[in-house]
């Protein structure tokens, strides 16, 4: 439930504003929430996380200064499973959402009937709910009753939306349409566009209007903004009117993004996109101040996974480690914390912020961050978890276990002693037979057992029709193992079986 200490703070802020002449009806009796999710970008691109970043992000930095920024937050390593985990608070082991192309247990259709969306719970509790940007979270549309967003302004165009707007030339999610001349479906209609229409601006403007409407009505709101920035293809922004040139060279912290080679992209272009994202975040913060709701609004900033083609879809720390910043009423202005969190914690945190009790019978894997954020607890969690398809990543404060995948012949993964270091280059790799760290390895073994099967060779997904299709498309797992078990050439590759495990080979041959 909503905490008395926070309620007292909100009433105090409201009372001061009333004495200053503000209309009482303009202040909601519960806090607002603005949740901004960047797309495909690692923490090191933001100057608060990395002062040497070529991108300068003063508005996002200000949120870190005004609240708490987690140095280590884990998501899943690609868009679909990361968003499914965020929306439900349930790890892929139970929800079935393991990768963009692996949705087990019919989860693409049943995610929001088998799990409970926090957007629906907030809506049912009286919150106005809106989403703007990129959904990418199964077949259920976000404005459905099961998901719970009342208003929407979405870039994604597919057959469901085309039935509403009569579009047939949208370009689809794989096209360049997310930026210039970007098709947007907004509350049941397709907005007009031309070559000067910049999609992220359109969706940001929608959120600014939504915030004003709800503020004027005195209704608390949840604004979820999974922006398309800075996902590839790298393109100019309204602040970079000419195609940028590659000038940064060694300043680029992740190497070149080969995915965008030949598409007019460059390192400087990606930096420009990150900085424009920061500018849009600044517009939202400024609007909240203009409306007089800044002091009663929680701001959350995160990313869905690591930077594309450098860390995305890799079962390593870089693939699942994302920025996570939260500022708002009662949150301690501690700046960065070394406490751990992951995306399963978001759902219970949002519900507790809003004063919404957990739904009866709903089991989530995460833990509310709020007691730690407001200083009622000195710690948050002992371990966190992320994944990339059949590869698992675990982290405690002193240890990292990454690249664990029985399917790829790496059941022991790669284990490091972190020693509290912020830099992976300082981690100490631990050999499998090193008895000095046996207790930590046993702790990881217990976590793995408690979470349950994770796409090993006998997992029921492989016997399903989607599993058969996936195996047909990926008959040799060696190439996938090469990518998902390793970073770009900075670490020594693991050794894996260069052949399909026998149970999967039998399925491919028509056996069981």
- pLDDT tens digit string along 280-290? 999 999 999 99
8 A C-beta contact, residue 111 and residue 140: yes
18-49 burial, b for 16+ CB within 10 Å, e for fewer?
eeeeeeeebbbebbbbbbbbbbbbbbbbbbbb
Q: Could you read off the pLDDT of 447-504 as tens digits, one per residue? A: 999 999 899 999 999 999 999 999 989 877 888 898 899 875 444 444 444 466 767 7
- The two structure tokens encoding residue 151: 């208003």
DSSP 89: -
Q: Which domains can be identified in the chain, with CATH numbers?
A: 4-12+32-93+112-146+199-241+248-356 (3.40.720.10), 389-508 (no CATH)
Tell me: cis bond preceding 27? Omega within 30 of 0 counts: no
What is the structure's pLDDT at 361? 85
Q: How confident is the model at residue 20 (pLDDT cuts 50, 70, 90)?
A: very low
pTM of the model: 0.88
What is the structure's pLDDT at 21? 36
Q: Could you read off the pLDDT of 216-235 as tens digits, one per residue? A: 999 999 999 999 999 988 88
391 φ, ψ (degrees, to nearest 5): -115, 135
Nearest-angstrom CA–CA distance, 103 and 160: 19
Residue 376 has pLDDT above 60, yes or no: yes
Nearest-angstrom CA–CA distance, 226 and 158: 17
């Amino acid at each position: 439930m909503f905490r008395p200490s926070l309620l007292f703070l909100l009433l105090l802020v409201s009372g001061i504003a009333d004495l200053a002449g503000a209309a009482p009806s303009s202040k909601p009796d519960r806090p607002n929430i603005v949740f901004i999710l960047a797309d495909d970008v690692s923490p090191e691109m933001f100057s608060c996380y990395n002062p040497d970043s070529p991108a300068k992000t003063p508005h996002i930095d200000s949120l870190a200064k005004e609240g708490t920024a987690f140095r280590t937050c884990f998501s899943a390593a690609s868009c679909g499973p990361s968003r499914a985990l965020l929306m439900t608070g349930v790890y892929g082991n139970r929800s079935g959402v393991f990768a963009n192309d692996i949705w087990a247990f019919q989860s693409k259709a049943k995610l929001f009937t088998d799990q409970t969306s926090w957007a629906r719970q907030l809506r049912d509790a009286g919150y106005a709910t809106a989403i703007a940007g990129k959904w990418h979270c199964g077949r259920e549309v976000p404005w459905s009753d099961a998901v719970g967003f009342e208003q929407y302004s979405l870039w994604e165009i597919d057959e469901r939306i085309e039935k509403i707007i009569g579009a047939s030339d949208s370009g689809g999610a794989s096209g360049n349409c997310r930026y210039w001349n970007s098709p947007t479906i907004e509350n049941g209609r397709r907005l007009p566009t031309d070559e000067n229409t910049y999609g992220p601006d359109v969706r940001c403007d929608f959120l600014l209007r939504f915030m004003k409407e709800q503020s004027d009505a005195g209704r608390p709101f949840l604004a979820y903004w999974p922006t398309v920035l800075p996902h590839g293809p790298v393109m100019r922004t309204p602040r970079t009117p000419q195609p940028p040139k590659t000038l940064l060279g060694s300043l680029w912290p992740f190497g070149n993004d080969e995915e965008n080679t030949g598409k007019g992209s460059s390192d400087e272009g990606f930096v420009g996109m990150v900085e424009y994202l920061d500018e849009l975040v600044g517009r939202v913060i400024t609007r909240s101040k203009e409306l007089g709701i800044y002091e009663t609004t929680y701001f959350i900033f995160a990313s869905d996974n690591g930077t594309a083609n450098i860390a995305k879809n890799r079962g390593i720390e870089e693939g699942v480690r994302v920025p996570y910043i939260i500022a708002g009423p009662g949150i301690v202005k501690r700046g960065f914390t070394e406490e751990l969190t992951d995306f399963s914690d978001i759902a219970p945190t949002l519900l507790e912020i809003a004063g919404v009790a957990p739904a009866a019978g709903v089991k989530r894997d995460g833990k509310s961050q709020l007691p730690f954020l407001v200083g009622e607890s000195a710690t948050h969690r002992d371990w966190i978890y992320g994944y990339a398809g059949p590869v698992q990543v675990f982290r405690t404060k002193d240890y990292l276990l990454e690249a664990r995948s029985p399917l790829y012949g790496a059941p022991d993964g790669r284990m490091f002693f972190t020693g509290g270091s912020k830099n992976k280059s300082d981690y100490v790799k631990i050999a499998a037979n090193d008895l000095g760290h046996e207790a930590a390895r046993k702790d990881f073994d217990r976590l793995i057992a408690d979470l349950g099967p994770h796409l090993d060779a006998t997992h029921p997904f492989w016997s399903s029709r989607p599993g058969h299709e996936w195996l047909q498309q990926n008959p040799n797992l060696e190439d996938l193992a090469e990518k998902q078990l390793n970073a770009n050439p900075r670490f020594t590759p693991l050794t894996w079986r260069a052949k399909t495990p026998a149970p999967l080979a039998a399925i491919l041959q028509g056996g069981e």
